[in-house]
Structure 1
Amino acid sequence: MLLTPRPPAPRRRLLRAAVLVAASTALVAAALPAPGPLGIGDPLFPHLGNPGYDVLAYDIALTYPGKNTQPLEAVTGIEAIATKSLDHLNLDFTHGSVRAVRVNGAPAAYQTSGEDLVITPDERIEQGETLEITVTHTSDPSGPADTGGWVRTADGLAMANQADAAHRVFPSNDHPADKAYFTFRITAPSTLTAVANGLPGDRTENGATTTWTYRTAHPMATELAQVSIGRSTVLHRTGPHDLPVRDVVPAADADLLEPWLRKTPEQLTWMEGKVGAYPFENYGLLVADAETGFELETQTLSLFERRLFTDTRYPAWLVEAIMVHELAHQWFGDSVSPRGWSDLWLNEGHASWYEALYADETAGQSLDRRMKAAYAASDRWRAAGGPPAAPEPPSPGQKISLFRPVVYDGSALVLYALRQEIGKEAFELLERRWVADHKDATATTADFVRLAGEIAGRDLTAFFKDWLYGEKTPAMPGHADWRTTPVTAAKPG
């Protein structure tokens, strides 16, 4: 995710938190154990994710009624494997009504607790057992536009699920530690176009409606899921190695946006030259006529605000650099996903690094100058939101406040310091090894520290401890003259 830089006039609207809608009927009336939200222990989102099972695949069917303020009818199928014996299991889900739940084909009792859907099957689930869970529910896009999950556009819907909003759309194990394959089946009025992550499958005309199918070829974190429904045009081109590139844009804006869209193949080639082959089956931009306050790296189909490309106050080099930021996330954050949200610096720090490096190499926007400015601000950023790898939790009711300067340029600064410390050649090898070794998986800060030490041929634990966890920013290798702005001097009054 990248917060969109703001010209002086427009006001930013950001994602906020969620509201729960309860479901219940005869099955719920059965005697259930007193359930509660579980979570997998993420310190930043303690109730996110659920223990006891590993999701292998999602199959999500959505029926769009034609108005983006009305609930969608939905059926979410989940294939999972139990990692321990379970009397009941939890899914993350909110902002929709549950109509029925089945486990391995049999009706199951369910009830809601907090933002969890607690399911109790008739028979105990044994460790190693394969589970087929089917939840019939609604998915409600109404409510404040800044709460995450569904984003209402001028002509339909899109998704913005980072960091913890996928379960506002569909029942899930909503944490990036549990990646899975996805199939989407989207039924919408035939006058509209539906798209989703991955490659298109069958498209079925049903008279007034059409059902579109998409499947991912690689596992995906729930926060990276994307579905767009609207009056859209899908534009096709080819990237390096015949990679399919598809862009989804408002139909009326296809010609207007084309000068920007045609830049993607070159940007893909540039990124591959830095870190290796693009990791997924296709790529492209989803340009939404909505004000979100950010751009978002949804897997294979990055979400952008229309006005990023149409507001002439944004210089061309900045727009292109932001495009590369979201593209870089396909390697850093999407293919290699964070094991926990405290590892977010690995996503945003790398995306900001390649954003800055691209601007340096293609537009003469000095990387050194940007990093020197980040160094000056770094102590203030750490004081305001914690160090890069130990960020403070998001503010109550403002989950997007996790995305602070310290995880963007404050974390890119760590990578700059690392390159200064181990040399450019070792740094570039580290980057390639990182995305190759952890492709389609999750990884931690400790994994990165170990690999960096292996490639450098020496223990870098102390270096990373200071740079990633220190209250104060360490001295910059090779730049003894760089200074931080004292925190007290930055405070008003």
Structure 2
Amino acid sequence: MLPYLRPRPPRSRTRRIKAALLASAVSVCLIAASAPSPATPLGVGDRLFPHLGNPGYDVESYDLAFSYPGTNDKPLAAVTTIKAITSAPLDRINLDYAHGTVASVEVNGARAAFTSAGEDLVVTPAEPVPAGSWLRIVVHHTSDPVTAANQDGGWVRTKDGLAMANQADAAHLVFPCNDHPSDKAMFTIHVTAPNGYTAVANGLPEGAERTRRSTTWTYRTRHPMATELAQVSIGRSAVLHRAGPHGLPVRDVVPSKDRQTLEPWLKKTPDQIAWMEGKVGPYPFETYGLLMAEAQTGFELETQTLSLFERKLFTESTYPKWYIESIMVHELSHQWFGDSVSPRTWSDLWLNEGHATWYEALYAEEKAHKPMEARMKAAYKASDSWRAAGGPPAAPRTPKPGQKISIFRPNVYDGAALALYALRQEIGRPAFERLERTWVSVHRDGDASTADFVHLASAVAARDLSGFFKAWLYDEKTPPMPGHPDWKSEAPQARKGA
């Protein structure tokens, strides 16, 4: 994600990685399974979002079916099918889901009872499900695009339809799921809409079935995806195709009336992909492209294989061309950092945004002669204030009620990029570039933590960097910048009410 106006491991290894995070929450689930108790919201213990995600199972795939009524102010009829493997015996199954109506639930082919608890849908199957079993859950529900008073994300109503913006924890406002990036899964997405509309989703098209009144489009991902990265565009859109590096399919989704106006921007994408591949290695997915929506979101978003942008950034912006191009690269670089390699917890967000900001700045340096050092010096000057307001890069402050995206503060953008600059200063450019390539290769299609990055950086540098990272990622004050002892950070102003 980039605020507008700115600021593989194998699946088996992924399950082992998740085990530590889920251990305490699974014990709660086991207790619940041993005796009847009131339905309660559960979570996987994320520090920033305690009730996000659910223990006891690992999702393998989602099949989502949406039926668009032809207007974006009414609920969509929807069916969500989840296939998972249980990691504990379950007589109740918690799914993250809110802001919709559930008509029925089936578990392994049998009707199941259900109720709500907080923002969880709590399902009681007809028979308890033992550990190590396949689990198939089918939920018939609505998906409401009309924003609730306390809703922060989910469906975005565009001028001619809908798009999605599910970061950080809003996918469950659209469909039932295990809404945490540590549980990635494959997605198949079906969208039925009246003829005259076009639907596009993550992944590659699997075909379209047209009737006299409507068309159903189907898309399927070829790589696992976090729920927060799901994307569905419904609108009177044009889908433009071009070839990227190595024949990569590049498709862009734009308002039909704007295809010629936006083409000068869209044609830049293949070269930007090639530039990123030169820095960190092969593009990690089956396709890429830009979704340019006529909507006011306040940000751009790295939804997997189809990044979401506000149309007006390209048609009404007063920003210089080099800056807009660097924003395009910011979201593109997320396909490696944040999408292919997802954060283990939301406290690891700096790994996403710090790297995306880093490559945004590096692109501006190489293509527009905007010195990285000047940007980093300015960031250093503000760093102590950012830490005071938002926490250190790897320990961001918890979001305020009703402001879930408030974790996306400067400390996890330029503040985190500043830590990467310090790392390059500390270990040298060759080792830093080797680390970046190794990171996205080793953790491709998985999730990873700050501790994983510290461990790998230490291995690449052939020395223990834990003390270096502790200071740069967790301390309240910004440590001295290697190679720049003269850089100073201004003392933060006292916060109101402090």
TM-score normalized with structure 2 length: 0.93
Name the counterpart of 1:300. 305
Are positions 1:254 and 2:259 aligned together?
yes
How far apart, CA to CA, are the structure 2 residues paired with 1:324 and 1:491?
Answer: 36
Does the aligned pair in 2 maintain the 1:219–1:440 contact within 8 Å? yes
1:120 aligns with 2:124: yes
CA distance in 2, matches of 1:373, 1:394: 26
Partner of 2:140: 136
Give the distance between the partners of 2:401 and 2:253, measured in 1 at CA: 34
Whole-Å Cα distance in 2 between the matches of residues 198 and 84 of structure 1? 31
Describe the SS at the equivalent of 1:487.
coil
Give how far 1:144 is off: 5.0
Q: Which residue of 2 aligns with 1:14?
A: none
1:461 is aligned to 2:466: yes
The structural deviation recorded for 1:122 is: 1.0
Name the counterpart of 2:3.
3
Which among 360, 366, 370 is matched to residue 361 of structure 1? 366
Structure 1 residues 379-398: aligned runs within 5 Å: 379-398=384-403
Please, which of 274, 294, 298 is the counterpart of residue 269 of structure 1? 274
> Is the alpha carbon distance of 1:139 and 1:394 closer, same or farther for their aligned partners in structure 2, counting shifts above 3 Å?
same
Which of residues 218, 222, 232 in structure 1 aligns to 2:223? Answer: 218
Question: Tell me, what secondary structure is at the counterpart of 1:413?
Answer: helix
* Aligned with residue 101 of structure 1, among 79, 83, 105: 105
Which of structure 1's runs of 4+ aligned residues deviate more than 4 A? 489-492
Quote the Cα distance in structure 1 between the aligned partners of 2:400 and 2:383. Answer: 20
Return the offset for 1:488: 3.7
Q: 1:35 aligns with which of 27, 33, 39?
A: 39
Alignment of 1:57 with 2:70, yes or no, is no
SS in 1 for 2:361: helix
Percentage of pairs with the same residue: 68
Q: Given the superposition, is the C-alpha separation of residues 6 and 341 from structure 1 closer, same or farther in structure 2, using an over 3 Å criterion?
A: closer
How far 1:314 moved relative to its partner?
1.2
Which residue of structure 2 lines up, in the alignment, with residue 77 of structure 1?
81
Secondary structure of 2:457 counterpart:
helix
Report deviation, 1:489. 8.2
* Contact 1:94 1:167 (8 Å CA) reproduced: yes
Deviation at 1:32, TM superposition (A): 6.8
Contact 2:152 2:405 in 1 (8 A): no
**Residue-by-residue CA offset, 1:195-240 (whole Å, 9 max, x unaligned):** 0000000210021100000000000000000000000000000110
Tell me if the contact between 1:302 and 1:326 (Cα under 8 Å) persists in the aligned partners.
Answer: yes
Whole-angstrom CA distance in 2 between matches of 1:312 and 1:402: 26
Query: 1:94 offset after TM fit, Å?
Result: 0.4
Partner amino acid for 1:88?
Answer: R
Name the SS for the 2:397 alignment partner: coil
How many residue pairs end up in the alignment?
A: 469
1:199 aligns with 2:204: yes
Q: In 1, Cα distance between the equivalents of 2:152 and 2:472?
A: 33
User: Is the CA contact 2:152–2:402 (under 8 Å) kept in the aligned structure 1?
Assistant: no
2:134 equivalent to 1:153: no
For 1:335-350, list aligned pairs within 5 A.
335-350=340-355
Distance 2:494 2:306 in 1: 43
Deviation at 1:312, TM superposition (A): 3.8
Deviations 1:46-88 (A, max 9, x none): 0000000000000000000000000000000000000010110
What is the match of residue 413 of structure 1?
Answer: 418
Give the alignment's Cα RMSD to 1 decimal.
1.5
Q: In the alignment, is residue 399 of structure 1 matched against residue 397 of structure 2?
A: no
8 Å contact from structure 1 (residues 380, 490) kept in 2:
no
How many Å separate the matches in 2 of 1:179 and 1:232? 29
Query: What amino acid sits opposite 2:365 in the alignment?
Result: D
SS of equivalent to 2:396:
coil
Consecutive unaligned residues of structure 2, counting only runs of 5 or more, are 8-34
Pair 1:340–1:6, CA change in 2 (3 A):
closer
What displacement does 1:139 show? 0.2
Contact kept? 1:280, 1:300, Cα under 8 Å: yes
Structure 1 distance, partners of 2:495, 2:146, is 41
- What SS is found at the alignment partner of 1:184? strand
Residue aligning to 1:228 = 233
Tell me, in whole angstroms, the C-alpha distance in 2 between the residues paired with 1:295 and 1:136: 31
What letter is aligned with 1:367? M
Q: TM-score, normalised by structure 1?
A: 0.94
Q: CA deviation at 1:391?
A: 0.6
Distance apart, 1:6 and its partner CA: 6.6
Which amino acid is 2:462 matched to? G
Match of 2:457? 452
Partners of 1:157 and 1:3 in 2: how far apart? 20
Question: Which whole-Å CA distance do the structure 1 matches of 2:220 and 2:483 have between them?
Answer: 48
The aligned counterpart of 1:24 is none
Paired letter, 1:125 = V
* Pairing partner for 1:334 from 335, 339, 343: 339
